[in-house]
Amino acid sequence: MLKLVLKKPLKQFCLFSGFLAAAVCAEANEFINDPNYAAFKQKTMSKYGLSAEQIDSAMNGTRNLPNILTIMTRPGESKPWYDYKAMFLSEGTIQRGVRFKNQYADVLNRAEQQFGVPQSVILGILGVETGYGANKGSFITRDALATLAFGYPRRAEYFGDELSSLLAWTYKEGYPTNSIVGSYAGAIGYPQFMPSNITKYGVDYDGSGHIDLRNSAEDAIASIANYLAQNGWQRNRPIGFAARYTGSNPDSVIAKDLTQPVPYGTLKDQGVTPLNPIIKIDNLDLVNVIQLQENYGPMYYITYPNFQVITTYNRSRMYATAVWLLGTEVASR
């Protein structure tokens, strides 16, 4: 009799418990009720052939990270060049770079020959991006991208597309989506590639059968070289030279758009010359002039199209110059 009395309430409790667990599970994705989530899911399904269940499963447990939005609204690169470069051209970073260079000398040489990108530039990017792997980021990439896709309207579409790309890539490679960590903006591994660039430019250079930019320095080296080569790197051409400007109107010579270089002869007539008098530049060479602020005053550089290619990795002229100078220093030791 006691069994008969308990059976029905017990059944009801189990049903309630199952419902509660399902509800908790469904709510574990903090964006599932966002008004844009359904459209994001549909777009991801259409583009990558994932099912609704696969997407919801990968997104299960996604957390909103409001501190990322705070970081995104800070003014970018407010430091002058002389402070900015000190963050990357420190002796400690250079020494780490030299150790990395020596450890992966064969891989760097192979990538330089195959892709036509100097190892100094590869070393510069690895140093500026992550200190040669010392700081790859600790944000769960899925959560970072979701926070930006659903909470940062100015670039919501871009970050939503990157989140879709992340889900597709992790399914293809068999990685748990929440196991991928990186920067607050969703960049991953040694070279800080966004997810879409992993599939577009990533190279399996260690022969593992996977593109692993988080753990394989070999894959990272080749992927950076492949990225630059595909974005227009000119083999055996310079990046630039330190310059002197003797005119009185710097705005007239400083490049407004690095994709529109001008013949060097035009700039020379306006007072721009290499700082090193031994360097000779053909008057027809297409170049730009940039200006950076040293603590003693303005510093000028004559830059070639390869400098502009570095800015496709990060649009900042200070970034590209830091990559160039750090890589040159590391490669020379």
Q: Which residue is associated with the tokens 């990395």? A: 100
List CB contacts of 77: < 8 A, sequence separation 6 or more: 84, 316, 318
SS3 314: coil
How many whole angstroms separate alpha carbon 66 and alpha carbon 139?
A: 12
* Residues 252 and 270: beta-carbon distance below 8 Å: yes
* Structure tokens given for 248: 């009185």
List CB contacts of 259: < 8 A, sequence separation 6 or more: 308
Could you confirm whether 129 is annotated as catalytic? yes
* Residues 223 and 213: beta-carbon distance below 8 Å: yes
How many whole angstroms separate alpha carbon 318 and alpha carbon 313?
A: 12
Of 30, 53, 129, 294, which residue is the catalytic one? 129
How far are the Cα atoms of 6, 147, 272, 325 from residue 12, in angstroms, in the given order?
10, 38, 84, 70
How many whole angstroms separate alpha carbon 115 and alpha carbon 246?
A: 38
* 114 burial type by CB count under 10 A (0-12 exposed, 13-18 middle, 19+ buried): middle
* Structure tokens given for 192: 């800080």
Name the amino acid, one letter, at 223: S
How many whole angstroms separate alpha carbon 224 and alpha carbon 121?
A: 9
How many whole angstroms separate alpha carbon 158 and alpha carbon 163?
A: 9
Write out the catalytic residue numbers.
129
